[in-house]
Amino acid sequence: MLRIRLKDCPLFPGLCDYVQLVGGATLTAVRALQQNVADIAICWDGGRHHARKDQASGFCYVADCILAILALKRHIPPSLPSSEIDYPRGKHVSRKPRIMYLDLDLHFSDAVSEAFHSPTSSIVPQILVSKRFQEKYNRKNRCICHRP
């Protein structure tokens, strides 16, 4: 069941349609990239980086960033020509693509970071933030922030 924080996510007429349209637009953009229909795909109403799979938060009603990353992480089909993928020794293998998520907003993309955080991961992202931001989020144990 979806939880909505009414303080920062007010209900409005057409909310269910809105969620489906934003999620559908995001998946359409992913599909265009995966099928080589486009080199760049932009979902202008996307970028909802505070929503979780079961909770709307921060004026974000649909977790479309997470949805896009999960869809992009699916295996690359082995039917692509070998000129597009460097197969080892000419074999056709499928592999998961590497995805880089870059959030250019002025505040922390908490839901996306939480969705893909893994204590066993060998990849450690570096998050550069102000001291005030760092103190606020370290108190809540939501992220590990590194400063150079």
What are the catalytic residues? Answer: 50
C-alpha to C-alpha distance for 22 and 19, rounded to whole angstroms: 5
CA terminus-to-terminus distance, the chain: 41
